[in-house]
Amino acid sequence: MMRRLIKCFAPRKYLERRNIENTKLSDASLLALMCLKVQYQVATWKKFYQLVNDISLSMLEYSRFMRRCKNPIPILQLIRTGLVKESAFGDIAIVDSFPLPLCQSHRNFRAVLFQNLADMGYNTTKRKYYYGFKVHVVTDTQGLILNYELTPASIHDAKAAPEVIENCPCPFVIADVGYVGKKLWQVFARMGYLLWTPYRSNMRHAKQHNIRQLKKFRPRQGVEHSIARSLGGLQMNIEAIMLTHNLEIMGMLQTSN
């Protein structure tokens, strides 16, 4: 299956690169291993490598394996976006965000990892501050990830929403109270989208407006913590998770449960 996806969506230059036939681990096998790590929720790449190396006599040396995993990041993106374009989805999209902390809360003000990119944000669900990033996701009602954006943790949902929703194929967008605001509604309208958000409980006509069935829609998320120590490693982890999630939603991979 991975071989077919690479052939369909990878550019010809990538498929015909020099000495590709002499690689010890094929591109298809590499992508399959990346999805396998996500499915079985192995915490670190080091641990996953040790598990795979114990049952395989043809594995690459660890540093080489990690370089190979980072190289196909653009291919993961092309496969994910290509599959989305070929998928059938309805008229409704769901936009939401979730925190991606980089350390435990007691280290928030001492953390230096990604210090020029990450910052402090507030997790409203757990009611505590965290240091890291925020992932903004737009999905269809079945959970298929249509697009995502990674921002510093302090970026408000409403500020990132227009960028993450751009080119979304669904004309109707559902969001939570974090996206409430006439200005954002107008921005979405100019982009060709109708935005629906519940009213806050203290807003006028909240009981009549808030539709219980719509409020229950939430994107299914799989990235809650990252131990990546480089930007390439972070991007590799997120792309592997997003692609694996979509392949499971589309029935192209069996779930690990």
pLDDT (mean) for 120-148: 92
Q: Is 182 a residue whose pLDDT tops 70?
A: yes
Give me Rg for the CA atoms of the chain: 20
Q: What percent of the chain has pLDDT over 90?
A: 44
Predicted local distance difference test score (pLDDT) of residue 211? 52
pLDDT at 132 over 70: yes
Helix axes 231-249, 62-70, angle to 10 degrees: 70
Mean pLDDT over 159-173 rounds to: 94
Summarize the confidence of residues 146-164 as an average pLDDT. Answer: 95
pLDDT in tens, 197-249: 886 554 554 444 455 544 455 555 555 566 778 888 899 999 999 999 999 99
Specify the pairing of strand 92-101 against strand 172-174. parallel
Q: What pLDDT is attached to residue 216?
A: 53
- Distances in whole angstroms, Cα of residue 114 to Cα of each of 106, 120, 159, 228: 17, 12, 21, 10
pTM: 0.84
Alpha helices (H) along the chain: 2-9, 12-15, 27-39, 45-55, 62-70, 73-86, 157-165, 182-191, 206-209, 212-215, 231-249
> What is the pLDDT at residue 212?
55
pLDDT tens-digit map of 43-99: 888 899 898 888 775 678 899 989 888 888 999 999 999 999 888 778 999 999 999
Give the CA count within 13 Å in the CB-facing half-sphere of 62. 10
Residue 248's nearest CA partner among 52, 10, 41 is 41
pLDDT average, residue stretch 134-150 = 93
pLDDT of residue 205: 47
Written as one letter, the residue type at 21 is E
**Burial class of residue 135 (count of CB atoms within 10 Å of its CB; 0-12, 13-18, 19+):** buried
How many whole angstroms separate alpha carbon 162 and alpha carbon 193? 10
Rounded-to-integer distance, Cα 58 and Cα 52, Å: 10
Q: How far is CA 112 from the centre of its chain?
A: 24
Residue with tokens 């109707």: 172
* 8 A C-beta contact, residue 153 and residue 99: yes
Q: What is the mean pLDDT of residues 168-185?
A: 90
pLDDT for the residue numbered 224: 58
For residue 92, the cross-strand partners are 172
